Amino acid sequence: MALSVLAATAPLGAGLRAAPAAADKDDDSAYQQAFQQAVAADRNVRRHEVPGREFLYRPRQLLVANADTERVTARLSSLGYQVTRGGEFAGVTRLRFDRETDVPSVVTKLRDPRQWPNQPVPGVQPHHVLVGYGNIMGNPGGPPQAAAALPEPDPAHGGDGAGVTVGICDTGVWRLAATRHPQWLGGSYLPQADDEDPLYLYTDVLGLQGGHGTFVAGVVRQAAPGVRFDPEQALDPTGLGDEEMLVAALAGLGPEVSVVNLSLGCVTQDDLPPLPLVNILAGQPQGRVVVAAAGNTGANRPTWPAALADVLAVAAVSRGGTGITPASYSGFGSWVNACAVGERTSTYVDGRLLLPGRPARLFSGFADWAGTSFAAAHVSGRLAALMSAGGLDAEQARLVLLGNPQWHPDYGVLVD
């Protein structure tokens, strides 16, 4: 079993924790129950519930490739649907139905070639809802746990990642992150009001993924303590966002960003790549590398944007008494490029997390958490460390990383 050559540059005490014990299962179940309740209560989210093909989407919205908008609008009218245009983003037009509509059924009909004799089938899809990969419907993952403070950064690795900026499109970053974590996050980013994580549902009660972006930033910095990061908000504190929110976050990244970390994603209708994400990522600056979590589905169903060909998809593994094994919660498949340990300790926030039927969890700045989110963040940091150590650009660092021996055909290169 070959380890990545990056193992030699890992800081000591790199913030790993053991895989969750069986005693945590009640909290894991409560976390999933809370997420299901939050989705059910959100009027702007619908769930398509066909077993094995579930996905989340925005109600009464249909996204259509700009070039196909006129003929799709005409076809919808002939089928008895009334729609209005609701603006454009990333090469698609949003059509809004005048009433509650079974959007997946409409998409299925419009994707049927029999609807388009002697014409190409148009590009149509729901407006998919994305989630942060500390949770996703049906995964076995669990909530964060309070943890002791991380040790100080290893001075021997203080320059790892220096001169590199990683874009983090996530829940945003805690307003107090730099002051509460001066050794790990202080001076590493430019605080801006529109990049802040709202964190709280009320008073000090945390959203289910409030602080996710701050945790991710800490994992990136542990792998490359000299790196800077550019946070952009693409998810709410519950961990929910959509394709338009991610497109806006990507568009907000500064030109200095050379690595983008996306610890989020979605599954889609018919498992097809989502048009807005295909378009926006195809238009990223040349040489920029996008790293995305493979999702916490515990299955080989593709998640997006990780499964896009030009994205570096990262699965999670666990480190236990028998060595390194695939994490039970991780997505996997031939579309995955790399993997890293998903159980991490990192910078977090202050507050309380309330789960159904469980004691309140109290946090004071640090947490343990598990997910492909944090495996991806580690890989993003390792890319930055490779860049600074070898004078490489992001694409060169990606080629070096992926040139190492493959650990597992469904999990890719192991990045330690």
Residues contacting residue 225 through CB under 8 Å, at least 6 positions apart: 11, 153, 154, 157, 158, 159, 160, 161, 184
| Token representation of residue 128 | 């998919």
* C-alpha gyration radius of the chain: 21
Contact of 164 with 224, CB cutoff 8 Å: yes
DSSP 154: P
What whole-number distance in Å separates Cα of residue 372 and Cα of residue 43? 28
Active site residues: 170, 212, 373
Residues in the chain: 416
Give SS3 for 289. strand
Contact of 415 with 378, CB cutoff 8 Å: yes
| Token representation of residue 283 | 């238009």
Task: Count other C-beta atoms under 10 Å from residue 123's C-beta.
Answer: 20
What whole-number distance in Å separates Cα of residue 133 and Cα of residue 202? 23
What whole-number distance in Å separates Cα of residue 380 and Cα of residue 24? 29
What whole-number distance in Å separates Cα of residue 325 and Cα of residue 202? 39
